[in-house]
Amino acid sequence: MTADTSANAAGVGHDSRPRLRLVYDGECPMCRHYVRRQRIRQEVGELELIDAREDSDAQRELTQLGIDLDQGFALQIGDRWYHGSEALHRLTLLGTRSGMFNRLMYRLFARHGRTARLYPMLKACRNGLLRLLGKTPIGNLRRR
């Protein structure tokens, strides 16, 4: 899932599909597993994966917008950013239904209300896992 980097200022690639970028915690095993397994539909475009712990244009943009990457990953579709449960819900709707993992993700997160209810538990598991592994928070808003 690599991205076409020839997007213009409007966030649209050379083939008129919207720019798709996912900023996630690359040191979180749960997050890494999820982004490796998640597949989006081919007609939607290609998803650029960006590690939130590495310096990038996307990470700087999210920081400027005040989006705390310790509170959830962020998904860009075209010019719009989605964060946390909304990002998970939108990414699920862009996903394929092929394979057991993607079917399960669709069943869990295709409904916005269910995603909003489940997301705090997922975030708590992530935070607990990172503490157990001795990982520091991303802290992107502290660098503003």
Give pLDDT, residue 63: 96
Per-residue pLDDT of the chain (144 residues; tens, 9 = 90+): 333 333 333 344 456 788 999 999 999 999 999 999 999 988 898 999 999 999 999 999 999 999 999 999 999 999 999 999 999 999 999 999 999 999 999 999 999 999 999 999 999 999 999 999 999 999 999 866
Residue 96 lies in a domain: yes
Residue 8 lies in a domain: no
Residue 14 lies in a domain: no
Give pLDDT, residue 15: 61
Residue 15 lies in a domain: no
Residue 130 lies in a domain: yes
Residue 38 lies in a domain: yes
Give pLDDT, residue 18: 86
Q: Are strands 47-51 and 20-24 parallel, antiparallel or unpaired?
A: parallel
Q: 11 exposed, middle or buried (CB, 10 Å; 0-12, 13-18, 19+)? A: middle
Please give the residue range of the domain that contains residue 55. 20-143
Residue 25 lies in a domain: yes
Give pLDDT, residue 119: 97
pTM, entire model = 0.85
Give pLDDT, residue 144: 60
Question: Coil, strand or helix: which one is 113?
Answer: helix
Give pLDDT, residue 17: 80
Tokens for 43?
């007609």
Residue 104 lies in a domain: yes
Number of structural domains in the chain: 1
**69 touches 59 (CB < 8 A):** yes
**75 touches 64 (CB < 8 A):** no
Q: 20 exposed, middle or buried (CB, 10 Å; 0-12, 13-18, 19+)? A: buried
Give pLDDT, residue 32: 95
